[in-house]
Structure 1
Amino acid sequence: MRTMRSVCCVLLAVASPAIAAEWSIVEFGARSDGEIHTSAIQRAIDSVAAEGGGRLVVPEGTYMTGALFLKQSVELHLTDGAVLLGSTELDDYPKKMTRIEGHFEPWRPALINAEGVDQVRITGSGTLDGNGKPFWAAFWKRRQENPKCTNLEVERPRLMFIDGAQDVLISGIRFRNSGFWNLHLYRCKNVLVDGVTITAPHGDRPKIIDVAQPWDEMSIDRAPSSDGIDVDSCQGVTIHRCTISVGDDCIALKGTKGPLAMEDETSPPVQNIVVTDCDFQSGHGVLTCGSEATIVRNVTVRNSKVGAGIPVVRLKLRPDTPQLYENFVFEDLQLDGAQALFDVKPWTQFFDLGDHEPPVSTVQNVVVRGIQGNLRTIGELRGNPGDVIRNVLLDDIEITAEKSKLVRGKIEGLLVQDVLVNGKPLAVE
């Protein structure tokens, strides 16, 4: 199984093209004055594209805008101290058909969008701020009314959505306060996300929302559904030197769901994913598969830090979806209060078999090695009745854990070597 290292770990290189010309959004009328300047900024994007492309600079200052749409050959560059601040009005994100949670429906676009554009470049040390508090308040109000409400019952804009692009570089910028997911990549190839910082408040869920209170005076310190990076039906994605602190999955690998998921041509396999040299500070999983996912293969997470309360290997096994997760490597990780080494188990949220028989899912060829630090529990490694879990290697691990037992189902080929938990060899029943 050690040969999987060469299968999964090709680091992508995305070269920045030479910048032929440079413009500033202020040349087109954008101002740092607290007013909405969507039209001016979009006019700047369109004009640079019409000139054959170049770098469009957001200078120091805070510029408020609604949904923006990048065009071919336009690099969006946010300088140090520059902030693109999202509008808090949903009308500034006009509904359009878009990919969301494994399917398409009319929904709100993101603050920054690129659709069918190759050589996407979004760079700099500035900030995308989703200004998400009113959207969070609307969701928590709905959750207060209906504790079983779904994510999509309350429309909230993402911070960035890249759809159908090849050769993508997102470098250096900061994502914060997104109304929903932060960075959503769909059907993209050859992507490098490098040196990006993603933050969202992740305190306690608010218990009571007073709708009469102005949203900007509400005490809300948790952003719902604040996924850091959603890799949806993509191939060849490298996530490098990123810092993620959110209230949901740090990285989620996504596709679609349901008994007929394997037949969905709009959701090709997620494969050839490399995550390296990252700092995971808060979230529901270092790397999570399964809310919507069918085939995920050739994935490596290495040389990274995992902070308090975060599961390392989180694979959701839906009872209504045939899933194949194969060739995963988690190596050289430092744990500091992580939740669990494994969180692999059935996921029954909002599932629907209809008239179909329960499908069988497979998890195979999983390597976890070179792990040090402390965590709460070794965790769970089990599936739904009939699921297959096979070829799992735990190697060169030295950790302390409050709960040292691995809760496991049937596993075909579980190999444990050089694994110490609380100073003793891991006992596998």
Structure 2
Amino acid sequence: MIRKILFIAGLATLAFAAHAQDYVITKYGVKNGDSTKLNTKAIQAVIDRAAKKGGTVVIPKGTFLSGALFFKPKTKLRLENGAVLKGSDNIANYPLIPSRMEGRSQNYYAALVNAYKVPGFSITGPGTINGNGAKFWNYFWFYRDSMKRVGKEATNLEVHRPRLVFIWGSNKVKIKNVKLHNSGFWTTHLYQSNNVVIEDCDIRSPYKPVPAPSTDGVDIDVCKNVTVRNCYISVNDDGVCIKGGKGPTAHKLPENGIVENVLVEGCTFGESHAALTFGSESIHARNVVMRNCKINSTTPLFRFKMRPDTYQHFEQITVENITGKAGVIFEIAPWKQFFDLGGSTEKPFGTVNDITIRNIKIECDQVAQIQGNPNDKVSGITFSNIEATAKKPGIKTAYQGVKLENVVINGQPYTLK
């Protein structure tokens, strides 16, 4: 009986191994050694082949140039040591398709790596996905400056550029031990995807010599149960950004929704616009925890962008056990970029409650600046065990619901005046 069980188990193991076959792209028609040759069709053919039986598409050592790739159910992606999947810098290699951008469902250009309804999808390293974004960045700044010269304002979407990774409607996703560099636009965008783990990743884009505009590290958009763990993140926009929709009726639209149960832990943040942002396209976030992280930045540790054209609710947010250097620890401020009521008679406002900031030891410009729009409702903010060395002593707040417990600024106990 025992032998029979072991035999059946062995067959099951062999069946699983066959199901989980590796598809090394250079064994299936993708040429190695010429990083200037566009390999989109050849790599996509390998993905399509892997999808038939299920398996992992493997990028071996070398640099492989590609446009948009579309992963399918039963496929995964692995980049071996020394492997680089390099994005084309020609937007023509990223098709315009139904997508999600800036809090709205709309047609937009595909990312370099796309996974739509791929349960169990994973991207693993230790190789690199490099967006090769410099051409897009240069043109973005050129275009924005040219609009300013004629008295006009340019939006982010007017200069067409691809994201690095876009995962939509895919649950139980893992992105592990991979380098995500130099995206043309947002780096990692999760939309309507639950139970996602991003860990041990190096996520970065430059500030110099050309800033990489709007290259958010991780955008979490209408998702639940997301963990970002032990990552290094330094990008020329928000590090981890909570999204979900924007506009006066955004809270009523089925494609929008809450971001809930997010854990950011053990991460190190370099320069960014903020390590954790409840963003310019966010309607509701609940139970978000950032803990045991380090920061070395001149911008906020975390902040709420309060849109006067969008109903927003941020609740049960905890930031704890943080060390390092930042601009401010916590910021609530109006966000009026591209304000648009769209002809609506609605009068949106934001609600912020149950915010805990504790066990923080940090150098900063100022501990906190807390002032939203006139109709916002803010309560239940607690600072506990804060040790700050600040250039501007004090906490600036427009609200009564701020509580201080053992807050020490520049060596002196601090109480609100």
Matched ranges for 1:316-335 at <5 A: 316-335=305-324
Show CA shifts across 1:154-186 (max 9, x none): 110000000001100000110111100000000
Q: How far does residue 89 in structure 1 lie from its aligned partner after superposition?
A: 1.2
* Equivalent of residue 237 in structure 1, options 226, 230, 233: 226
Query: 3-state SS of the aligned residue for 1:227?
Result: coil
Q: Contact conserved, 2:206 with 2:212, CA < 8 A, in 1?
A: yes
Structure 2 residue 413 is matched with structure 1 residue 408: no
Structure 2 residue 246 is matched with structure 1 residue 257: yes
Distance 1:20 1:157 in 2: 30
Distance 2:396 2:375 in 1: 17
Distance 2:100 2:416 in 1: 42
Distance 1:394 1:305 in 2: 18
Distance 1:237 1:146 in 2: 38
Q: Contact conserved, 1:388 with 1:411, CA < 8 A, in 2?
A: no
Letter in 2 for 1:287: L
Structure 2 residue 183 is matched with structure 1 residue 178: yes
Structure 2 residue 113 is matched with structure 1 residue 112: yes
* Equivalent of residue 386 in structure 1, options 371, 375, 399: 375
Distance 2:344 2:366 in 1: 38
> What residue number does 2:130 align with?
129
Q: Contact conserved, 2:138 with 2:210, CA < 8 A, in 1?
A: no
Larger Rg: 2
Q: Contact conserved, 2:394 with 2:409, CA < 8 A, in 1?
A: no
Distance 1:313 1:90 in 2: 33
Distance 1:328 1:163 in 2: 25
Moved over 4 A (4+): none
Cα root mean square deviation, aligned? 1.2
> What residue number does 1:339 align with?
327
> What residue number does 2:173 align with?
168
The more displaced of 386-395 and 375-384 is: 375-384
Q: Contact conserved, 2:367 with 2:388, CA < 8 A, in 1?
A: no
> What residue number does 1:366 align with?
355
Structure 2 residue 42 is matched with structure 1 residue 40: yes
Q: How far does residue 319 in structure 1 lie from its aligned partner after superposition?
A: 0.8
Matched ranges for 1:15-414 at <5 A: 20-32=20-32, 33=34, 34-50=36-52, 52-147=53-148, 148-203=153-208, 220-336=209-325, 338-353=326-341, 354-412=343-401, 414=402
Letter in 1 for 2:74: S
> What residue number does 2:9 align with?
none
Percent of pairs with identical residues: 40
Query: 3-state SS of the aligned residue for 2:42?
Result: helix
Q: Contact conserved, 1:290 with 1:318, CA < 8 A, in 2?
A: no
Letter in 1 for 2:235: V
Distance 2:147 2:64 in 1: 36
Unaligned stretches of 5+ residues in structure 2? 1-15
Unaligned stretches of 5+ residues in structure 1? 1-16, 204-219
Distance 1:103 1:262 in 2: 12
Q: How far does residue 357 in structure 1 lie from its aligned partner after superposition?
A: 3.8
Distance 2:307 2:22 in 1: 49
Q: How far does residue 85 in structure 1 lie from its aligned partner after superposition?
A: 0.5
Show CA shifts across 1:287-328 (max 9, x none): 111310101110000000011213112101111111000000
Letter in 2 for 1:275: V
Distance 2:389 2:278 in 1: 26
Count of residues in correspondence between the two structures: 394
> What residue number does 1:427 align with?
415
Distance 2:386 2:302 in 1: 15
> What residue number does 1:5 align with?
none
Letter in 2 for 1:40: A
Distance 2:344 2:217 in 1: 35
Query: 3-state SS of the aligned residue for 2:360?
Result: strand
**Larger RCO, structures 1/2 (Cα 8 Å, 6+ apart):** 1
Show CA shifts across 1:4-27 (max 9, x none): xxxxxxxxxxxxx97732120012
Letter in 2 for 1:104: S
Q: Contact conserved, 1:96 with 1:109, CA < 8 A, in 2?
A: yes
TM-score, normalisation: structure 1: 0.90
Q: Contact conserved, 2:277 with 2:305, CA < 8 A, in 1?
A: yes
Distance 2:89 2:306 in 1: 36
Query: 3-state SS of the aligned residue for 1:158?
Result: coil
TM-score, normalisation: structure 2: 0.92
